[in-house]
């Protein structure tokens, strides 16, 4: 995995392919939609949407139920194949399951890719407010505990390249505040997100680094703010997360 794997400046892309993936992303977010809804959301003509949906349906990547299109289960094969290529995915599963059981909260493995954090694995309860994160979801690095844990162990020049490519704008005060926070994360090896990304949702993260101390991922525990505040005051959740991250990290470095 490569955190700053971006195409060269000015590189040309294929519009048809972009449209197909925009449709797939829209279907993922909506959990199913019709032609008119997709056309309105993506500012495309209905004939264009219908043509692309027909192609994706022929390929087996979407299904049609009445007038509603949904993602096909065969897409799962692509996702699981990509995840299996992570050098520490199999190593991380059991420790993350134990971490979730111990904390009774959501435990995740976040990995950096294309300037985002991506949830590669998720274990734990499903919150009834549906603020939980699904495996495969992308998150902004600078607004989440897992992302900040990764950024803190990413060279400054690569961080700046990520922000430029993802069009993340900071004024001088915001940049200084983030720099101080990332330095504190390096000092304590623990990152926090207190409702920065999802309202009333707290997250704590510890980075996983390679032998050169560059981030390759992060372990997180998250849950509703009221529940997490109580647990953070009573339990040593950061130490539990740190123990899990170290376990994964040691196995990664020994291979």
| pLDDT at residue 71 tops 80 | yes
**What pLDDT digit, counting tens, does each position of 29-62 carry?**
888 999 999 999 999 999 999 999 999 999 999 9
Note the pLDDT of residue 29.
Answer: 87
Residues with Cβ < 8 Å from 94, sequence gap 6 or more? none
Instruction: Band the pLDDT of 128: cuts 50, 70, 90.
Output: very low
Q: pLDDT at residue 70 above 80?
A: yes
Task: Note the pLDDT tens digit of each residue in 182-207.
Answer: 999 999 999 999 999 989 999 999 99
Burial of 125 (0-12, 13-18, 19+ CB in 10 A): exposed
| 3-class DSSP assignment, residue 148 | helix
Q: Which residues pair with 68 in a beta bridge?
A: 65
Check whether 225 has a pLDDT greater than 80.
yes
User: Do residues 224 and 198 make contact, with C-beta atoms less than 8 angstroms apart?
Assistant: no
Kindly list the structural domains of the chain, giving each domain's residue range(s) and its CATH number in brackets, ordered by start. 15-77 (1.10.10.10), 86-254 (3.30.450.40)
What residues have CB less than 8 Å from 182, skipping those under 6 apart? 148, 151, 152
215 in Cβ contact with 92 (< 8 Å): no
pLDDT reported for residue 240? 95
């Amino acid at each position: 995995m490569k955190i700053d794997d971006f195409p060269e400046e000015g590189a040309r892309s294929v519009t048809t392919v972009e449209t197909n993936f925009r449709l797939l992303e829209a279907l993922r977010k909506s959990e199913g939609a019709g032609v008119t809804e997709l056309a309105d959301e993506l500012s495309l003509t209905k004939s264009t949407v219908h043509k692309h949906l027909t192609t994706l349906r022929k390929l087996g990547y979407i299904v049609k139920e009445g007038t509603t299109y949904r993602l096909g289960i065969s897409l799962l094969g692509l996702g699981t194949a990509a995840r299996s290529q992570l050098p520490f995915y199999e190593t991380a599963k059991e420790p993350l399951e134990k971490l979730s059981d111990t904390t009774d909260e959501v435990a995740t493995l976040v990995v950096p890719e294309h300037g985002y954090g991506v949830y590669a694995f998720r274990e734990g309860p499903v919150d009834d407010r549906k603020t939980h994160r699904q495996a495969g979801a992308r998150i902004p690095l600078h607004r989440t505990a897992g992302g900040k844990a990764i950024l803190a162990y990413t060279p400054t020049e690569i961080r700046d390249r990520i922000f430029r490519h993802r069009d993340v704008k900071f004024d001088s005060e915001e940049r200084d505040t983030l720099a101080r926070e990332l330095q504190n994360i390096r000092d304590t090896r623990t990152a926090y997100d207190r409702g920065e990304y999802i309202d009333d949702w707290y997250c704590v993260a510890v980075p996983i680094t390679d032998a050169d101390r560059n981030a390759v991922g992060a372990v997180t525990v998250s849950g509703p703010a009221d529940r997490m505040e109580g647990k953070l005051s009573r339990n040593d959740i950061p130490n539990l997360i740190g123990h899990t991250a170290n376990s994964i990290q040691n196995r990664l470095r020994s291979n």
